[in-house]
A and B are shown apart, each in its own frame.
Chain A
Amino acid sequence: MLLHQLRSGFLLLLLFTFLTGVLYPLAVTGIAQLVFPAKANGSLITMSGKVVGSDLIGQQFSAPGYFWSRLSSTAPGAYNAGASTGSNLGPLNPALLDAAQKRVQALREADPGNQRPVPADLVTSSGSGLDPHISVAAALYQLPRVARVRGMRTDDVRALLEESTEGRFAGILGEPRVNVLRLNLALDAHKEGGR
């Protein structure tokens, strides 16, 4: 009797390993590579034959001429897509306040004279440390700085910003947000395009 049970047990394990470990992933991969090939390989962005990033993975920006992303706590460097992690800082951890203070200072130094309150997403880390987005408010906060440093008209930057803005799905799901890498790529393309 026990032997009978053992036999069924191992047969089940074997069958399921094949079904859920081989057949099922192969079927999903088949659909993925046939119907959604770009997304299935990581939504990579190619610019003039070179892969410059992924639509879904944020990058680190610190030059004043680019829009900055949120803080990232990945190690060894920010926005390390090979090791996603959040900051894991509790609200009362002094390190949280410290990081936020440094960010506020850096933003103020890059844009002297701008005394508006900083949108919170710019001074906090995202959960994944790879958030590709910032809020629209955070982008608008940085807009005058980027326009000034690049010598562009504010309206031109604003137009590009609006192009990179993703709205709420059906007006309710999600928060209006700006894809930082897309926006910065658009800024660079604008420069190369010349006037």
Chain B
Amino acid sequence: MFLSTWFLPVALLATTTFIAFPLSKYLAWIMEGKFKAPRFLGWFEEKLDSGPQDWKEYTAALLIFCTALFAFGFLVLVLQPWMPMNPDGKWMLAPSTIFHSAISFMTNTNLQHYSGDQHLSNFSQIFFILTNMFLSAAVGFCALTAIIRAFRGEKLVGNFFVDMWRVVVYMFVPASFIIGVIFLQQGAPMTFDTFARVSTLESPSTQQTIVVGPVAAVEPIKMLGTNGGGFYGMNSAHPFENPTGISNFVNTMAMMLFPFMLVLMYGRMLGRLRHAVVIFSVMLLMMAGTIVWSVYFDTLKPNPGLTGDSVARTYEIPSASAPGGKRTVTVPAVGGLPVDQHLGNLEGKEMRFGTSAGATYAAVTVDVTCGAVNSEHDSLNPIAAISPMVGMWLNCIFGGKGVGMINMLLYVIIGIFVAGMMVGRTPEYLGRKIGAREVKLALIALLVHPIMILGPTGLFAATDWGLKAVSNPGPHGFSQMVYQFSSASANNGSAFDGLGVTYGLANNPAPAPEAVPWDIAAGLVMLFSRFLPIVAPIAMAAYLGAKKRAPQGLGTLRDDTATFALLLLGTILIIGALLFLPVAALGPLAEHLGPIPFGG
């Protein structure tokens, strides 16, 4: 039991770290332009090169490209009914859902307010989902590269289009191809057919529609690009997306791989590998923490809904009307079911991955902001569900492609600034003085996240928009709303799927009543939370990099020591996590403590 529970997470962390060290060298080598491509590929690279760009031009190119990507995605979804590979004549998605989905995939979030198997044709799956997955993931990667070059003091930070080409063609496509073959071997379908109808064994009159499609092509980049938008509604829990325990291992490792490597690439390109290893260790520690938390409370504990509560509990509540100003309320004992739960909470889990796979995946997928799921997060034990939420709230435990490392850099800057203030020294990073402008930009980028989560959650929790959408009673309903906006703002894409946010196709006679406000609000949150934390840090890095390097002295804060790791960890926990403690108390913590009667 011990081995079958803990082997998977330990093996995942160890294998990925082991692979990330050598491979990050390859990444740095490519991004430095040292890789001489074969002539026909190099020709494209030349055609794309619009010349070296300073940070403003680079950012403008990035934004222009993302706008084009949005427009293209929107168009593909609108044209779905008239495009080929749509034998069952699927109509287009509702307009608000198209708006939401086009933003969702362009921002690398992949929050899905539709279900791929029911609402998308194979044409849309390929030209909307697949292309967006490759490109949106590369955008974050390029942003990080620009920041690294700016930190090195380079005024011209490279060419965005050439960087995109290098990332997609020299890294993502070959890596996806290799992992795709592994998925094929394990049993993922790959065909341009749409479905097969079979008569079921017990009642041959009942037909089962088995949806197939280009699954094995979508799956690798869905994970490698930390995209996470499933081909099927139930994502990596679906047997075709994730057929075996081995595919689950490869699947989980694939989403960790690039986020792990990018931290080390940062160090290699700056010539500060030790510093990067310190950051890497802090991230690894936090990731291990979230995994242990969710596995301990979900795999090693039973589902409390089925165990019952053998003791009646009595609470005293202040009440103006009752004599003595107090009233007692008793929660009666509930009989448990005769169920053997020694494998942990199995609601929403699949049998083939192993018991701890669901909880491990739940923690990893939010840490690296992938957002694919192999179990139902809505059905996690309440206290275990804190782990995925914390992953999204911190948003820097490796984090998404490039942007996770960028978020971590913000904490690095803030941490050094705070430490500098405490000892009364001018704070410096990479030998350059951190001024008011840099700290302001870092804070803007950091504060977008809590504002974009807490603001809309408050609004929706107070109105019918939220209240009519939740599917679970009590604090869990609140958790569903918090989770949705956390996922949107962290550009994660996982969800407490019970939330009624699916409008479906535009001609759906009975859509979820509040789907439209959710589409629009989540769409806007994703947009702001994606681009402000990319643009502001690039500007910050450019301003910082333009400063003169100060000589290192005795009083300089070393950024490659264990002390620095502690400082960083403390900054993240105090600034990042405390902001969200109140909502954690209202949602998962309140649910864990059980039915507590509030008020009189």
A and B: bona fide binding partners: yes
A82–B195 CB distance below 8 A:
yes
Give, as a whole number of angstroms, the nearest-CB distance from B403 to chain A.
Answer: 20
Contact (A4, B343) CB under 8 Å given A31-B184, A84-B238: no
Contact of A132 among B186, B199, B239, B338 (CB under 8 A): B239
| Complex alpha-carbon distance, A123 and B198, angstroms | 26
Q: Which of B96-104, B371-379, B412-420 contacts A (4 or more CB under 8 A)?
A: B371-379
| Complex alpha-carbon distance, A44 and B211, angstroms | 12
Chain B residues in 8 Å Cβ range of A35: 184
A interface, by DSSP: helix, strand, loop or mixed?
Answer: mixed
Number of interface residues of A (CB under 8 A): 104
Contact (A82, B118) CB under 8 Å given A93-B476, A118-B338: yes
Q: Which residue of A lies closest to B210 (CB)?
A: A81
Chain B residues in 8 Å Cβ range of A10: 68
* Residue in A13, A70, A77, A93 with the greatest tally of chain B CB atoms within 10 Å: A93
| Complex alpha-carbon distance, A88 and B202, angstroms | 27
Q: Which residue of B lies closest to A93 (CB)?
A: B472
Q: Taking the complex as formed, is B329 at the interface, i.e. its CB lies under 8 A from any CB of chain A?
A: no
A81–B209 CB distance below 8 A:
yes
| Complex alpha-carbon distance, A117 and B169, angstroms | 55
A128–B237 CB distance below 8 A:
yes
Contact (A100, B187) CB under 8 Å given A7-B50, A13-B68, A82-B195: no
Contact of B376 among A25, A88, A184 (CB under 8 A): A88
Chain A residues in 8 Å Cβ range of B3: 172
A173–B164 CB distance below 8 A:
no
Chain B residues in 8 Å Cβ range of A9: 61, 64-65, 68, 161
A53–B200 CB distance below 8 A:
yes
| Complex alpha-carbon distance, A4 and B353, angstroms | 50
| Complex alpha-carbon distance, A58 and B61, angstroms | 48
Q: Which of B380-423 contact A (CB under 8 A)?
A: 381-382
A79–B239 CB distance below 8 A:
no
Chain B residues in 8 Å Cβ range of A166: 352
| Pairs across A and B, CB under 8 Å, 29 listed | A2-B60, A4-B50, A5-B60, A9-B68, A13-B68, A15-B48, A16-B168, A19-B168, A42-B191, A42-B210, A44-B198, A51-B196, A52-B200, A53-B210, A54-B210, A80-B209, A83-B117, A84-B115, A89-B472, A90-B378, A91-B591, A96-B305, A117-B340, A121-B346, A130-B238, A131-B350, A135-B351, A173-B248, A175-B354
Known: A87-B376, A177-B352, A181-B201. 18 other contacts (CB 8 A): A4-B51, A5-B50, A5-B64, A13-B65, A25-B217, A29-B214, A42-B196, A52-B198, A52-B199, A84-B115, A86-B375, A91-B305, A100-B305, A123-B337, A124-B348, A124-B349, A174-B246, A188-B201
